[in-house]
Amino acid sequence: MHREHLIDTAPGVRLWVEERGDADAPALLLVMGAQASGLGWPDALVDALAAHHRVIRYDHRDTGRSTWSYETKPYAITDLADDALAVLDRLGVERAHVVGMSLGGMLAQLLIADHPERLHTATLIGTCALSTTPYTRPDGTVVPVEELPPIDPRILAMWADRPADLDPDAELDWRVEHWRLLNNGGVPFDAEAAREAERRLIAHTGHARVSTAHGQADHSGMLRTEALAATAVPTLVVSATAEPVFPPPHAQHLAQVIRGAELVEIPGMGHALPAPVLEPLAKAILGHTGG
């Protein structure tokens, strides 16, 4: 079953939400990354998960069909975690499996730390730890958090030099090249599939504007070092071997700082969800959730 809603999560904030799967199945909440609509979760992955779960995905504020309000009413990143919890509240979900990617993985960590009673499990993809605990390499050497690898400079340059007021074709060209870099060569890149996904997203949103709200929003107050080290929420960390935004060993570090976390490697995966990684990713998530 496929159900769509517009849900009020805060004063003046309304989010587009979609549900798939049996309404009586265990709920699974998908939380996307910065500037990313819920449509960033490919239908093939959503449907694979929906065979076993009531899958919920949604558009963050300032993405897709949700309220675009940052310019007139700024908010903090922690407010986006409150939105995720409010989606569950409005849908009557007491506890859910939560899967977060990139910024969504950070929001999932906030839920692990602050609302563990609302989570059955958590799965974290393409993200970094909200912790000051250093990383210990297999050889025993210790690496401070600030010395972990940075974002690929090619991606930083592309973000910094993004042209304004691109015509529709040039906008799609820019987005496809962006996905090429995020894919990072670990698996074959399908440019036409990326272009079609972006056409669909633009149609869903109703325009081709891209908000910078999540980059501008207040990122303070997000560290959860002690809570993550003490959590009882079963957590799976996905290690993407070609990840360019949070390169290895960020995933290994994340698995160290979250108590009891398990690590699963998806060879060739970058900071994207192309077709070749969807089957192993769905298998890993469902293995963790018991689906």
Q: What is the DSSP string of the chain?
A: -EEEEEEEEETTEEEEEEEES-TTSPEEEEE--TT--GGGS-HHHHHHHHTTSEEEEEPPTTSTTS---TTTS--BHHHHHHHHHHHHHHTT-SSEEEEEETHHHHHHHHHHHH-GGGEEEEEEES---S--PPEE-TTS-EE-GGGS----HHHHHHHHTPPSS--HHHHHHHHHHHHHHHHTTSS---HHHHHHHHHHHHHHHTS-----HHHHSB--S---HHHHHH--S-EEEEEETT-SSS-TTHHHHHHHHSTT-EEEEETT--SS--HHHHHHHHHHHHHHHT-
User: Does the pLDDT at position 128 exceed 90?
Assistant: yes
Taking residues 171-188, what's their average pLDDT?
97
Taking residues 87-116, what's their average pLDDT?
98
Predicted confidence at residue 165, as pLDDT, reads: 85
- 30-68: per-residue pLDDT in tens? 999 999 999 999 999 999 999 999 999 999 999 999 999
Predicted confidence at residue 210, as pLDDT, reads: 87
| Residue 71's pLDDT band (cuts 50, 70, 90) | very high
Instruction: Give domain limits for the chain.
Output: 2-289
| Residue 164's pLDDT band (cuts 50, 70, 90) | confident
Taking residues 204-223, what's their average pLDDT?
95
Predicted confidence at residue 113, as pLDDT, reads: 98
User: Does the pLDDT at position 1 exceed 80?
Assistant: no
Predicted confidence at residue 248, as pLDDT, reads: 97
Predicted confidence at residue 158, as pLDDT, reads: 95
Taking residues 206-226, what's their average pLDDT?
95
Predicted confidence at residue 244, as pLDDT, reads: 98
User: Does the pLDDT at position 291 exceed 80?
Assistant: no
Q: Domain 2-289 in CATH: superfamily? A: Alpha/Beta hydrolase fold, catalytic domain (3.40.50.1820)
User: Does the pLDDT at position 180 exceed 80?
Assistant: yes
Taking residues 175-191, what's their average pLDDT?
97
For the chain, percent of residues with pLDDT exceeding 70: 100
Taking residues 99-114, what's their average pLDDT?
98
